[in-house]
Amino acid sequence: MIGFLIALTAAFVGYSKARGFVKNKLRYVDGVHKRSAPWKAGLIATVVAMPIALVMPFISGASAMLFGTAIGLGVAAGRRDLRRRLPALS
C-alpha cells in the first residue's frame, strides 16, 4: 500500500511539474515542439528513476515506469497548452 501511494504521488508530481516546466520555461525552445519530445522525456525519466526505484525498499520498477509515463504525458500536455497560447505562424 505504501509503495502504491508513493508511485501515485510521484506520478502526479512528475506530471504537474513537467507540464508547468514546459509551459513556463521551454516556451520558446524549438525542441519541445517536436513530436518526439514527450517520448524522449518519458524515456529519460524512466531510465533515471529505475536505479533509484530498485534500491528503495517500497518502490518497484513499475513505479519508475509509471513516473516516466507521467513525465511524458506532462510534456505532451504542456506542448498542447503552448500550441493553444502561441499565435499561428501562417
Q: 38-90: per-residue pLDDT in tens?
A: 999 999 999 999 999 889 888 888 999 999 999 999 999 999 998 887 676 55
Euclidean distance between CA atoms 3 and 48, whole angstroms: 18
Euclidean distance between CA atoms 76 and 90, whole angstroms: 23
Looking at residue 88, its pLDDT comes to: 65
Looking at residue 86, its pLDDT comes to: 66
Looking at residue 13, its pLDDT comes to: 96
Domain that holds residue 37: 2-85
Q: How many domains does the chain have?
A: 1
Q: Give the CA-trace dihedral at 34, 39, 41, 45, to 10 degrees.
A: 180
pLDDT in tens, 16-26: 999 999 999 98
Looking at residue 47, its pLDDT comes to: 96
Q: In this structure, what C-alpha cell is assigned to residue 30?
A: 524549438
90 inside domain: no
Q: In this structure, what C-alpha cell is assigned to residue 77?
A: 500536455
Distances (CA, A) of 9 to 16, 30, 31, 35, 54: 11, 30, 28, 27, 18
Looking at residue 57, its pLDDT comes to: 85
Q: In this structure, what C-alpha cell is assigned to residue 73?
A: 504525458
For the whole model, what pTM was predicted?
0.87
